[in-house]
Amino acid sequence: MPEKETKEPRIKQQPVEQGAENVTLENLESTSGISTEQANQEAQLAVDTPNQEAAVTNHPDDFYQQVLGSFKRKEFSEEEIDQRQKEWQRYEGIEDKQKERRRVNDFPDYFFAGFWIRLFAYLVDVLCIGAITGITLDTIYHLGGWSSSGHPFGLYQLLSLAIYLGYFVLLTKFNQGQTVGKMIFGIRVVSFTEADLSWKTVLTRELCMRYVLQFNPFFYCGYLPVIFTKEKQHAGDYFSETSVVTINLIKAFNKQANANM
């Protein structure tokens, strides 16, 4: 009888490390035909790689090293961290910084002009604007034989609006915050954050906000805060960081201060 061939049972190799799933010497030999030594090296590499990554993630540096290390693979010195902190501080506390802006004109409460004196100054300005419109537009339309009545958004109405807004913008900018009405009653517009009124401030207050407040009856309520706010600001003053002060009080205060020196 022919002798039976005895086959040694093949022992299935276990994974080298628990972290390297399904990586065995047998699988490497059978699939790629590489030697046992090479298979051991491949398996060890598969085990070491996740362990190295885990070491990196399981042992983080401090908070700033993590943030900075996300885009620059090196440790930062204390000076570099301080520099980054200073650069990034401008992105936090924006509202608090706006409240802490330095006030150039910080007047006492009693320096601000009240509601009624500002109203009377405005009525004088309206009379001046009516006179300018009558002298210019009405004369031109009369000589040309044109009619000023008609569509509410016709040429005459648009030109009248331009004169109205231009009066406040130009006089406020080039006459130190005073229109004719304000000059008569001794008041002027001042900014809390600027020594001189800038174009941005003037256009915000006298163009944008004046148009919004006066050409919609609902928004007339925007003038009411002048009555009860500490700095006598209406909505236009609030958004442009301005108010109206009484010049005579400022002159008297300065005169008294100089006399006491």
Instruction: Quick: pLDDT tens for 181-215.
Output: 999 999 999 999 998 999 999 999 999 999 998 87
CB atoms within 10 A of CB 80: 14
Average pLDDT, stretch 15-28?
A: 48
Average pLDDT, stretch 158-174?
A: 95
pLDDT of residue 67: 59
From 180, 156, 157, select the one nearest 170 (Cα to Cα).
Answer: 180
Specify the DSSP class assigned to residue 51: H
Instruction: Give the confidence band of 64 by pLDDT, cuts at 50, 70, 90.
Output: low
pLDDT of residue 176: 92
Q: What is the pLDDT of residues 104-121, one digit of tens each?
A: 777 788 889 999 999 999
Q: Is the pLDDT of residue 228 over 80?
A: yes
> What is the chain's length?
261
**CA–CA gap between residue 173 and residue 188 (Å, rounded):** 11
DSSP structure string for 113-173: --HHHHHHHHHHHHHHHHHHHIIIIIHHHHHHT--S-S-TTSHHHHHHHHHHHHHHHHHHH
Q: Is the pLDDT of residue 20 over 60?
A: no
More confident residue, 213 or 131: 131
CB 175 within 8 A of CB 119: no
Q: Is the pLDDT of residue 153 over 80?
A: no
CB atoms within 10 A of CB 125: 19
What are the distances in angstroms from CA 101 to CA 96, 149, 155, 161, 247?
Answer: 9, 49, 43, 35, 25
DSSP structure string for 226-239: HHHSTT---HHHHH
Q: Is the pLDDT of residue 143 over 70?
A: yes
Query: Domain map of the chain by residue range?
Result: 8-73, 109-260
pLDDT of residue 57: 47
Q: What is the pTM of this model?
A: 0.60
How buried is residue 202: exposed, middle or buried, by Cβ count under 10 Å (0-12/13-18/19+)? buried
Q: Is the pLDDT of residue 9 over 80?
A: no
From 114, 135, 127, 117, select the one nearest 232 (Cα to Cα).
Answer: 114
More confident residue, 151 or 95: 151
More confident residue, 176 or 252: 176
pLDDT of residue 247: 92
Average pLDDT, stretch 169-189?
A: 96
Rounded mean pLDDT of the chain?
76
Q: Is the pLDDT of residue 97 over 60?
A: no
pLDDT of residue 214: 81
More confident residue, 87 or 18: 87
Instruction: Give the confidence band of 16 by pLDDT, cuts at 50, 70, 90.
Output: very low
Average pLDDT, stretch 15-22?
A: 47
pLDDT of residue 54: 47
